[in-house]
Chains A and B, each alone.
Chain A
Amino acid sequence: MVTVTLLKVEDLSISFGGLRAVSGFNLDLKPGELVGLIGPNGAGKTTVFNILTGFYQPQEGRIFFDGTEITGLGCHKINRLGIGRTFQNIRLFNELTVLENVKIAYQYAGRYSWGDAIFRTRVFHRHEKEITDWALSRLDIFNLAGKADEIAKNLPYGEQRRLEIARALAGRPRLLLLDEPAAGMNPQETVELLELIRWLRQEFSLTILLIEHDMSLVMKLCERILVLDYGMTIAEGSPEKIRNNPRVIEAYLGEEVS
């Protein structure tokens, strides 16, 4: 059976000063999949994200996105190829407005030159309007359009999380990496988030890879789960299989896996 792979990761390894943070990591993501990446603290999950998005250069291994190799490419280039992400501890452009946050992520799409900007040409106004409209439409999806002119850091926590996802989506990614999107949310907000992620995947035909500590969320949401421990993949499979995997239970010793 031939299936197209959107993201293919082969034997990824990286170590920091002798500590092997990720070792021999493999991953195949098919278009439209929703895959969870779990594991105890310090297992190397965020490091995987950082390698995929170009912040770290892996010492071994290769990454292919949609058939092209992206290993070693700069962060912004990887983003522009269609990989968007959020951060574990929210990293908004704090002092900028909600609207500006989203506009920044989309702006390379609406290109106008320095001359257009300086002389405020017709091209400038047209593209600016396009960027603003697009950004507002993204905010609308996340119920944030009413807060477009607020300073990002003044938003309540849950809205900051939503804004981060809105910002990641503004660049029209095909693959979305979510790093603990539910962290710090109350159960009600988590349920809403779950609905939102499902809906986003449908609406924008996204492929999603997600790191999450909230096990119930992961189990409900993901079709496939990878478990990392000490930088190595110790299990992979459906939520059902993962829940009953003895190695996973051992890795999470004391933590609840259901």
Chain B
Amino acid sequence: METEKTTGLESHTQAQTAEKWRKYLLPVGLLLLFLLNILIFMEKFGFNFVNRYYKGILILTFINIILAVSLNLINGITGLFSIGHAGFMAVGAYVSALLSINMGEWGFLPPQIQSIIEFPLVLILGGLAAAFAGLLIGVPTLRLRGDYLAIATLGFGEIIRVVALNLGITRGARGIPGIPNHTNFWWAQFFAVITVVIIWNIVRSNHGRAMAAIREDEMAAEAMGVNITYYKVLSFTIGAFFAGLAGGLFAHYLSYIAPRSFDVLKTIEILLMVVLGGLGSITGSVIAAVVLTALPEVLRFLQAYRMVIYAGTLVLLMIFRPQGLFGRAEVDLTVFQALKSRAAEKTKSQPGERGGNGDSA
């Protein structure tokens, strides 16, 4: 009892020091993102501060943020151990790529307008297809527990890959070339921000609490009236939707996809981001996605050792800091809440409905 008390105190002071820098995390992050936006926007005026190569890394970072945050919803928030995320990414990538390639002119809209709507529409359709795959897979498998679920999702991920390898329309192992490269910095950033905000808001609602309850204790959750099947399936489907969205962005960035882009290793790469950031922490997933996308580029001279280092990190992380960098902590939003309440005081008739959720990279 006595020792428990002291550890409780210790973790409390730790939390307090963490509190300090968490306060600055979001403002600093948003400021950096804003500066980055200005730098890239300057292109319109002929200043190329950020070259193609770095922009590519930024785009991949945004895609990885979507993947990590959506997997975190499944694995970290709801506590379902899914290792089939690359499969959903593949569904989204293939569906959106095939739609883009085969979509002619609609006719009922002027081509200029179509070209604006088409890309986001195709991405969302890809996401919906992935969500549907998630639903199909989720309904039968989600009654499995822990390890069994892990292996079943892994199996489904592999089946999706094998199907892509065998269908005529996906061109088997040769893959699909010539996908229009619509994905630019702006689109990638837009969808990454949308994803983070949506998942953040879900987690901080009764729906998110129900998911967290399932993670904590399935049986108690049921006894408290939580429909665990419903929330498991939805968590899985929503996660799959965003994975599919990321897959679409990925396909339209590289212009080429093949089944091997979506194998188990891809899933594990995403899993590493989630685990490094902290299972259950959206902030952690975002930061880990940034770090793990940028780091290999910075450490190019270590290229050959990259995967060995990744794997070693994963093991050491689990042994020495299983909660990841952030545990379940998130960025501190009080700064914004303070702003909001100040604004609310000024214009009392119009209290801000939104606010306090402008979280992003």
Contact = CB atoms under 8 A, between A and B. Distances in A.
A80 B225 contact: yes
A114 B225 CA distance: 18
A224 interface: no
Contact of A107 (B198, B209, B353, B354): B209
B93 interface: no
Nearest to A53: B223
A104 B201 contact: no
Contacts of A120: 201, 353-354, 357
Interface residues of B, number: 28
A108 interface: yes
Interface string B204-218: 011111101100110
A154 B206 contact: no
A79 B328 CA distance: 29
B219 A112 contact: no
Contacts of B201: 117-120
A181 B152 CA distance: 39
Interface in A68-122: 74-76, 79-80, 84-85, 87, 91-96, 100, 103-105, 107-108, 110-112, 114, 116-122
Contact of B209 (A87, A91, A100, A119): A100
The listed residue with most A CB atoms (<10 A of its CB), out of B210, B217, B219, B225, is: B225
A117 B202 CA distance: 6
A55 B228 CA distance: 13
B224 A105 contact: yes
Contact of B212 (A54, A100, A167, A168): A100
Contact of A76 (B217, B228, B353): B228
A65 interface: no
Nearest to B203: A117
Nearest to A164: B220
Secondary structure type dominating chain A contacts: helix
B353 A95 contact: no
Contacts of A76: 222-228
B312 interface: no
A237 to B, nearest CB: 30
Contacts of B353: 120-122, 125
Given A93-B220, A117-B201, A118-B198, A112 B225 contact: no
B79 to A, nearest CB: 10
Nearest to B234: A114
B225 A105 contact: yes
A171 interface: yes
Contacts of A94: 216-217
Contact of B216 (A87, A93, A114, A154): A93
B222 A75 contact: yes
Interface string A159-173: 000000001101100
B206 A96 contact: no
Interface string B320-361: 000000001000000000000000000000000110010000
B212 A93 contact: yes
A119 B204 CA distance: 12
Contact of A79 (B210, B222, B357): B222
A118 B206 contact: no
A180 to B, nearest CB: 15
B8 interface: yes
Interface of A: 53-55, 74-76, 79-80, 84-85, 87, 91-96, 100, 103-105, 107-108, 110-112, 114, 116-122, 124-125, 127-128, 131, 154, 167-168, 170-171
Interface of B: 8, 198, 201-202, 205-210, 212-213, 216-217, 219-228, 328, 353-354, 357
26 contacts: A55-B222, A76-B227, A79-B222, A79-B224, A87-B220, A87-B223, A92-B216, A92-B220, A93-B212, A93-B216, A93-B217, A93-B221, A96-B212, A100-B209, A104-B212, A104-B213, A108-B206, A108-B226, A112-B205, A117-B206, A117-B208, A118-B202, A119-B201, A120-B353, A121-B353, A171-B225
Given A75-B222, A114-B202, A120-B357, 12 more contacts: A87-B219, A91-B220, A95-B216, A96-B213, A105-B225, A107-B206, A107-B210, A108-B225, A114-B207, A118-B201, A124-B205, A171-B224
A-B pairs with lowest CB-CB distance, top 4: A117-B205, A93-B216, A75-B222, A107-B206
